[in-house]
Structures are given as structure tokens and as C-alpha cells.
Amino acid sequence: MDSEENSFVRLEDPQDLQGGGSEMTPEQVRQEIERYKELCSAVEQDNAALQKEKEETEQRIRQVKNTKELIQENLQQHNPLEDLIQTLQSEIFLAKEEKSGLEQEKEMLEKKLEEMRKKSWEDPMMMLPALPERNLVFKGLVTDKEDMNKLMLTPLIRYPLQGGSALITFEKAEVAQRVIEAKEHTVELSHGENLEELDRCRMRVQASPVDVLLPSALEIGLAQSSRSILVSGLPGRGIPEEVLLDKLELFFSKTKNGGSEVESREFLDDCGQVVLTFVHDGVAEQLIARGQVQVPIGKVKYKLKISPYMRGEVTNLQFQPSRCARTVLLSGIPDVLAEEPMRDALEIHFQKESRGGGEVDALGYVPAGRRAVAVFSE
């Protein structure tokens, strides 16, 4: 604000104008009046301008106040941040509900899949449409239904033999038992009737039982491969194996045929089928669901069957020692005869009942300095 002194127009003293008390002339008075009029007019103009500026300032203050009140009212009635937060919370809630629903659906589908797998194993007939067709010839005995889940094994035993030993199998188990109980046997190597006692050549051999390990319990786990399929119904042997594998890989590697990149291929000689393994998961499942596909091989289209590839793995195998009832191990045989004469000498000796022997079913001899593997079959 201006000070009190600046609030008024200061009029000069006429004596100051006249330089010391002399009176003003009429002309000077008129000039002075005109000057005062101009000053008054200037003051009035300044006052009007100030009044206008005051009104404009008050108007702007009112506008700002109204704008502030309007903004506060809008903020109270409509808060964008709160609306955004509410919208996000609603979307999060809906997403959680959708996720929960998908998880429940996934669990339900997994349960159904597990039930289907159990049913397929409990009822083999359910798997028949998916299995490859193959001609089978059944041999053996007819068994009861209760024995269907039992697995019959025919062991093939390999028994290592050191040099200077032999395995002899008799027709009767009691003969083998007598030979084992005797432990040591004197075998004549010359059998001339007219030879004197001093001219006879003999050797001593030791007899011992043959113990082997036989499987007592066997568990096999079967699992369906997630990336492999079994292709059956292939054409005959007129097409080379490598050409056939190339044709199949070329066909099943194309996405338009429902396939993908092939990781490996294998031709099964025993059944004439092919195993194809893909790089990515899910491809095998889609092809298995189709069941059959038309594949051009050469100038002919063949209808091939697509089946799941089951992979078996031994999960538990237990052994127990078992003694061969009719076989005896002979050891300590010296290297004094050739292989054939030594085999004949042993068989002749152990066939004689007078020496505790009996009918020989089989005899295997390994000369000193050599090794062999004897194979036991049922």
C-alpha cells in the first residue's frame, strides 16, 4: 500500500512559485488552474483504471474460487484413481475365479484320464482298438481265469566253466546225488581188457553240486511313451527298410499331416513295425487319436494303423539260489588226453552203475587253459 503522504496531491505554495511573497498575476492563476485541472483529470483516470483492475481481480478471484469448489465437488463425486483401483480389483477377482475354474477342470480331466488308464489295464479289451494288428499262434496249456495275471518264466542260465572241468547231466536225479556224495572219483583212461594193473592209466576228479541263481520274483512296469507312436500295417519286404523309414519320416514330419519333427525312427524286425519318436510332446497323442492314416509309399497309398508305444521296464527282480538236480560239476581234470577222448572216458566211467553212475543225458568238457560258458535250458 502507498503511504499516507503519497495518497494526496501536493500543491505547491504560491509563495514558492513567486520567490518570496509576491502576488500572482491573473494569467499565472489561470495557468495554475489549468494545471490543476489536468492533474485532477489524470488522478480520475488513474482512479478509474485502478477501480477496473480491482473489479477484474475480484472477478478472477471469484472464478478461481468457483473452479476450486467445482474441482472439489467433482473429486468427491467422481475419483478416477478410486475407479481405477476398483476396476483392477474386479479384474483380479475375475481372473482368480477363472483360474480356480480352470484348475478344477484340470483336476477333473486328470481324474478321468487316470480312471481310463486304470480301466484299460484292468480290462485289456479296452486297449484292443488301439493295439496294432498282428497274427499270433498260441502254444501251451490252457489255464484257469484266476491264473491270467501270473507270468511264467523259462530261465536261460549261463554257467561259466574254467579249464580242466566238465558238466555232466544224468537222466535221473538220484544218480547225480550219488556221484556228488562220493565227492572223489578215479577215472580209468585206458580200457583194454588184457592190460595188466600196472599198465592202466587213471586220474582223480572231484564231483560237486551245481548251484545257480533263479529269479523268484519279477515286476515289470509298463508306461506309454508321450512322444512315440507304433506304426503297423506296413507293406511287405519288397521295399528296402531304409527307404521305408525315409518315406515315413518325410510324411510324419509335416504339420499338415498332423506330425512334427521326427527325432528318431526304429524298425522292429520281429514284428515288421516301426517306432517313430517326435521332438515335441503332444504330437503322438493327436496321431493316436486319429487311429489310421493314408501314407503314400511309392505309387500306392497304404492305410497304416497308429498305436501307442508301450515301453516296459523291470522294476523289481529277486533271485534265490537253486541246485541243479541232475547235473554235476567235475573239476581237477588233468590235461592228459585230447578233448574228444577225454569226453568219451568221462562218459564211459560215469555210465557204469558199478561205480555209482547211470545213464548220461549230456556232457560238456573244457580242456585246461581254456574257458567256456554252459547254457542251461529247461
Other beta carbons within 10 Å of 257: 15
Percent of the chain at pLDDT above 90?
A: 13
Confidence of residue 250 (pLDDT cuts 50, 70, 90): very high
Q: What is the pLDDT of residue 367?
A: 92
pLDDT for the residue numbered 329: 92
Q: Tell me the per-residue pLDDT of 132-188, one tens digit each, with 9 for 90 and over.
A: 665 666 665 666 656 556 666 677 788 888 888 999 999 899 999 999 998 998 888
Specify which of 86-100, 224-238, 326-340 reaches the highest per-range mean pLDDT.
326-340
Q: What confidence category does residue 4 fall into, taking pLDDT thresholds of 50, 70 and 90? A: very low
Instruction: Please name the residue that has the C-alpha cell 501270473.
Output: 150
Residue 209 has pLDDT above 90, yes or no: yes
Geometric angle at alpha carbon 362, from 211 and 180, rounded to 5° = 45
| Measured distance CA(177)–CA(357) in Å, rounded | 10
Name the most confidently modeled range: 21-30, 35-44, 180-189.
180-189
The gap from C-alpha 38 to its chain's centroid, in whole angstroms, comes to 105
pLDDT given at position 177: 92
**Strands in the chain per DSSP E:** 157-161, 165-170, 184-188, 202-232, 262-268, 273-278, 292-297, 300-331, 360-366, 372-376
Q: How many CB atoms lie within 10 A of CB 235?
A: 15
Q: Nearest 5 degrees, angle CA 348-CA 333-CA 195?
A: 50
- Position 235 confidence tier, pLDDT thresholds 50, 70, 90: confident
196 pLDDT above the threshold of 60:
no
Question: Is this model's pTM higher than 0.85 or not?
Answer: no
Q: What does pLDDT average to over the chain?
A: 80
Alpha-carbon distance of 359 to 190, in angstroms, equals 21
User: Exposed (0-12), middle (13-18) or buried (19+): which is 76, by Cβ within 10 Å?
Assistant: exposed
For residue 100, pLDDT beyond 90: no
**pLDDT(11) > 60:** no
Beta carbons of 259 and 278 less than 8 angstroms apart? yes
For 255-300, how does the pLDDT look when each residue is reduced to its tens digit (9 = 90+)?
998 899 999 999 888 788 899 999 998 898 889 888 889 888 878 8
Average pLDDT over residues 107-123: 70
Which is higher by pLDDT, 347 or 143? 347
The predicted pLDDT at position 316 comes to: 85
The Cα–Cα gap between 256 and 254 comes to: 5
